[in-house]
Chain A
Amino acid sequence: MAINWFKYAAPTNFYGLAGKLIPWFAGFSLVLFAAGMYIGFFVAPADAQQGEFYRIIFIHVPTSILSMVLYMVMAGYAALGLIFNTRLSAMMASAIAPTGALFAFISLWTGALWGKPMWGAWWVWDARLTSELILLFLYLGFISLHASIDDPRRADRASALLAIVGSVNVPIIYFSVKWWNTLHQGSTIKFSGTSMHVAMQQAMFTMLAALWLYALAVVLARVRSIILERERHTHWAQEVAA
């Protein structure tokens, strides 16, 4: 039997698939979120140096990681859409952008809350903070360029090009800012092992998984409404909406 690999590249088919997947992603996300919160608050011990304050990493680190991952995923979809001219890829890219921007914002916000007791300042001009802020700017640029072009096809292609230029620029920006100033603590989790307590790690990875699933559910929900909006002139979309 021949498998049609491109079946779900058609927005019509993907709409149904996304609808079936969303409850699963959302449900697992909720369960993991509850578990992560429980481990984070009741199982993980207080940190030797930072006391109870460190617990904000259970939100801060996953959102920072996801804000970066989502930008690369968005740029990847944008590139796919530009190269193969697939409509769904561009829709996915524009569905990811708001969630990515939200994560970047939460990451900055929680970072400020953490920075006040630890460094004595809400904001310092440190390399990682600054590059996270620039990442937020890149997201906002993508969203506003997409929003200000009326023709959806041109909007998709123009913002896709911007996302790709941005993703090429991200490493340059990151290193330039890094050489400029560094205060943020180095990465605790490295591929060669970690210096963290096991329960802390469990809480953090559980939260990462929870937020990842949340991002999936939200992006799929958003792409569903984008599909409906774009296909509003078609018969099936009118039937679904009715």
Chain B
Amino acid sequence: MKLLVLVIRRDLMLAMRRRADVLTTLFFFVMVVSLFPLGVGPEMDMLRKMAAGVLWVAALLSSMLSLGRLFATDYLDGTLEQMLLAPQSLSMLVLGKMIAHWMVSGLPLVLMAPVLGLQFDMSVQALGILIVGLLLGTPILSMIGAIGAALTLGLRGGGVLLSLLVLPLCIPVLIFGTGAVEAIANGQSVASHLSLLGAVLVLALVFTPWVTAQALRISME
């Protein structure tokens, strides 16, 4: 537990020293979302219908953007090698890095989403569900993404390859997240979508740190 807190604090501190990276991801998110009305036209009815989908897809894309850095800097300066040699559990270290990555790249998106949702004329209720969905879903994106980041560590063209590997695996998150918002718009219960999202989150929490640790060992051999 202490180890976890330590890793998270270290990664957050490193991220705070390079604030530009964090802001780039956030700006990318805002920009992608703002481009959609320009592309499809300003009719509010249509925008309201696609709002959840647009926000989710944009969140998916911008989380891909920052994944490359998850292990890359530690790999370059040799920290990662020390982590692999450390007596502490590598899965735990990886989990800490995932959580820190989410706090830096996922949480800001969640906080920004309601403002952007208002641009799309979403109702307060729908916004609430969108936020809950994003809160449950964005950590999963960070965790599945970490597997891809570990597998593509140090490869040329790693960034594009990473998206190619990770995006198909993230489809269930997208479906449940937007499904919840759609359900509330149609007056149905959102419980099923959100509990499925929660179930995926729990599964990811259990398995992805270990899988990522294995992937790191393969990549660092």
Which A residues have a C-beta under 8 Å from some C-beta of B? Answer: 134, 137-138, 140-141, 144-145, 148-149, 153-154, 157-158, 161-162, 165-166, 168-169, 172-173, 176-177, 179-180
Contact = CB atoms under 8 A, between A and B. Distances in A.
A141 B218 contact: no
B175 A137 contact: no
A138 B211 contact: no
A53 B121 CA distance: 46
18 contacts: A134-B171, A137-B164, A141-B165, A145-B151, A149-B155, A154-B218, A154-B221, A158-B151, A161-B151, A161-B211, A162-B151, A162-B165, A165-B169, A173-B168, A176-B172, A176-B175, A176-B176, A179-B175
A145 B152 contact: yes
Contact of B168 (A141, A144, A148): A141
A148 B211 contact: no
Interface of B: 147, 151-152, 155-157, 161, 164-165, 167-169, 171-172, 175-176, 179, 196, 200, 207, 211, 214-215, 218-219, 221
Contacts of A153: 221
Contacts of A180: 175, 179
Contacts, number: 65
A177 B171 contact: yes
Nearest to B172: A176
Contacts of A161: 147, 151, 211, 214-215, 218
A173 B175 CA distance: 9
A140 B151 CA distance: 15
Contacts of A179: 175, 179
A173 B215 CA distance: 22
Given A173-B169, A173-B172, 5 more contacts: A141-B168, A148-B156, A158-B219, A173-B171, A179-B175
B172 A144 contact: no
B165 A145 contact: yes
A148 B175 contact: no
Given A158-B218, A172-B172, A177-B175, A148 B165 contact: no
Contacts of A137: 164, 167-168
Given A158-B215, A161-B214, A172-B200, A138 B168 contact: yes
A28 to B, nearest CB: 35
A160 to B, nearest CB: 9
B211 A176 contact: no
A148 B165 CA distance: 12
B169 to A, nearest CB: 5
A145 B161 contact: yes
A196 to B, nearest CB: 32
A166 B164 contact: no
A137 B167 CA distance: 9
A161 to B, nearest CB: 6
B151 A134 contact: no
Contacts of B155: 148-149
B211 A165 contact: yes
Contacts of A158: 151, 215, 218-219
Contacts of B156: 148
Contact of A148 (B157, B169, B171, B218): B157
Nearest to A138: B168
A140 B165 CA distance: 9
Contacts of B151: 145, 158, 161-162
Given A149-B155, A180-B179, A157 B169 contact: no
A81 B97 CA distance: 29
